[in-house]
Structure 1
Amino acid sequence: MSALPLLRAASLILALAAVALGPAEAAGTLRIGYQRSSTLIALLRQDGSLEKALAPQGVAVSWHEFTSGLPIMEALNTGSIDVSADVADTVPIFAQAAQARITYLAQEAASPSAQAILVPGDSPLKSVADLKGRKIAVTKGAGSHYLLLAALAGEGLPFRSIVPAYLSPADGRTALASGSVEAWVAWDPFLSAALEQSGARILRDGTGLSLYKRYYLAADDYAARHPEILAVIVVRLGETGAWVKANPDAAAARLAELWKLDPGIIRKANERRSYRVERVTRGDLAEQQTIADAFRAEGLLPRAVDASALAVWEPPTR
């Protein structure tokens, strides 16, 4: 489903929600987990518009920052948060392998060039094949993890042909700059920042290797009890994503205040991201299964995963 029909349907739901939910039933605090790279959630948090949209239902919002997607999934599964901001396509797969009880809420359409394998500007490495035997920084379970796996597979190389250094984005960039790793797999805005500030160059981006969709998820129990609240979130995400693409300079300026990055870097990062928020369908999970199978084949998942087995949020009809 395209973003526009989704927004129209969800907007109708918002009109019904005030009647469908009484204050006592909906009252409480919505707990949202996010990462620094969670662009749309960062903007909603900055301007308070999500709180305003939820106020008629008696819902407050609390914000909880995490360094990567997997800890967010753990927090969802343990009931520490209710909803996650966007996480890379790999993250729900690893969470599912850990038997997390989570629901797909929405997705951002594919942005394959928003993640890439980087090397120093003066590196002798010229192709993915040259990574064999090299130490590479990557964030475990992130979309960049699958990009690296898929890039190696494209050259007939198993994952064990390289030496992974599992690091956070900040530590990965430091490791690349210090020479303690020979390549680093990054995603935006970290990717654009490294290209602009440290002279790194792209060895291979995700084009033709990974769609790199980003998913919003909710705890199963929360999704079952509060579909109308989730409808509000989906509407606001969709509107914010459309605003970012229509107002690149203004969006970059606002994010620069939050991320302490040059607006020009952020604008370049935002050009690589689709920010088109869409409903998740079962058909959309085909690449999720491909990702799960690839990790399992390399021994990087503890068990086989049926990507279609997770719940998918459906907009309420009442």
Structure 2
Amino acid sequence: MKRVLAAAAALVLLTACGSSDSTDSADSSGTTVRLGFSAWPGWFPWQVAQEQGLFAENGVTVDLTYFDSYTDSLTALSTGNLDANSQTLNDTLSSVSGGAQQTIVLVNDNSTGNDQIIARSGIDTVADLKGRTVAVEQGTVDHYLLLLALRKAGLSEGDITVKPLLTDAAAAAFVAGQVDAVGAFAPFTTTALGLAGSKAVATSADFPGAIPDHLVFDAGFVKDHPKQVQALVDTWFDTLAWIAANKDAAIAIMAKKGGVSDADYKTYDAGTTIFTHEQNLAAFTPGETAANLDFQARSIAKFLVDAKLVDEAPPLDGLFDATFVKAVSP
């Protein structure tokens, strides 16, 4: 979680960690939105938007960068190498706690099973992880899921040995028999479940609403370039409409980007609930249930502090901006 990496690493992120493509035509202001995303079913629609020219149709120029390492995308936004990124509420709160000024303008999805704690044969419950070694990318949402699952089972992180690895490497280490379990998100869950006898002992479906995923902007960019922000939000919903009308073609695009087969990609459908416009409006509405983002933010912030993943609770004022979702034409 801790968002402070070496300055040298931040300088080379966009060339060393991702691949970038820009839309063909600039908007009238000449402003380009530097948008990052990484391997998650709720974010692959951005690739569809790119390939189908939907950014350009909405009059916005986007420099779309795919990150092989999710944590590198978080760092890129926090250090000013991106204007916007697709990331979880957990990780956004961690960045804000560290001093980053960020604004959430859109809910992409909720994880409803595609984040998993996967264990080898002979380990049937989370309680069975006591004394075992678990590979997980520290500070990411699957680390958070692991802590939630351990707490529910009456354990703590001190009851296991955490092997910190990037998610793709963690899944590979698990398959190679180097660890007893792994915390991973799709599509890396497919890799991990390739180990004979392996099974998910906990998933995000066990913690409804705990892992929402968002389009997050640098707060200053939102203030200075609201038209570009609106165009990106509009593009998202246009993309969902295109996917609904061209499902097989869309799956082919997203599966290719994820490095999995079309058949495997289809299995992720139930585990990632893409939010409609109406669900976005409801999520941004203040409330006291798991469906309300402000409630989730308070709950996650408390957990992050209690688990000593951050030093102090992040400020929530100005974190959620429903302006752009509200302006989308139904």
TM-score under structure 2 normalisation?
Answer: 0.79
Counterpart for residue 118 of structure 2:
118
Give the superposition deviation at 1:155: 1.1
Please list, as runs of the form range in 1=range in 2, the aligned pairs for 1:222-233 lying within 5 A after superposition.
222-233=221-232
Contact kept, 8 Å, 2:136 with 2:170, in 1: the verdict is: yes
Contact kept, 8 Å, 1:249 with 1:267, in 2: the verdict is: no
Unaligned runs of 5+ in 2: 1-26, 287-291
The 2-side partners of 1:210 and 1:62 are apart by: 33
Equivalent position to 1:305, from 314, 317, 325 = 314
Please list, as runs of the form range in 1=range in 2, the aligned pairs for 1:19-168 lying within 5 A after superposition.
23=28, 26-37=29-40, 38-54=43-59, 59-85=60-86, 87-120=87-120, 123-168=121-166
Letter of the aligned partner of 1:78 in structure 2? T
Please list, as runs of the form range in 1=range in 2, the aligned pairs for 1:194-233 lying within 5 A after superposition.
194-195=192-193, 197-199=194-196, 200-211=198-209, 212-233=211-232
Give the superposition deviation at 1:308: 4.8
- The DSSP-based 3-state class of the residue aligned with 1:270 is coil
How many residue pairs get aligned? The number is 286
- The answer to which structure has the higher helix fraction is 1
Structure 1 runs of 4+ aligned residues shifted over 4 Å read 245-248
Contact kept, 8 Å, 2:139 with 2:309, in 1: the verdict is: no
Give the superposition deviation at 1:193: 4.5
Give the superposition deviation at 1:151: 0.6
Residue deviations 1:40-67 (CA, integer Å, cap 9, x gap):
112222323213322xxxx422122324
- The DSSP-based 3-state class of the residue aligned with 2:200 is strand
The 1-side partners of 2:241 and 2:69 are apart by: 25
Taking only aligned residues, the RMSD between alpha carbons, in angstroms, comes to 2.3
The 2-side partners of 1:214 and 1:246 are apart by: 23
Contact kept, 8 Å, 2:55 with 2:61, in 1: the verdict is: no
Contact kept, 8 Å, 1:152 with 1:159, in 2: the verdict is: yes
The alignment-based identity, stated in percent, is: 23
- The DSSP-based 3-state class of the residue aligned with 2:233 is helix
Please list, as runs of the form range in 1=range in 2, the aligned pairs for 1:270-309 lying within 5 A after superposition.
270-277=269-276, 278-279=280-281, 281=284, 282=286, 283-308=292-317
Contact kept, 8 Å, 2:174 with 2:192, in 1: the verdict is: no
Contact kept, 8 Å, 1:108 with 1:275, in 2: the verdict is: yes
Q: 1:127 to 1:245 in 2, by over 3 A?
A: farther
Unaligned runs of 5+ in 1: 1-21
Counterpart for residue 187 of structure 2:
189
TM-score under structure 1 normalisation?
Answer: 0.81
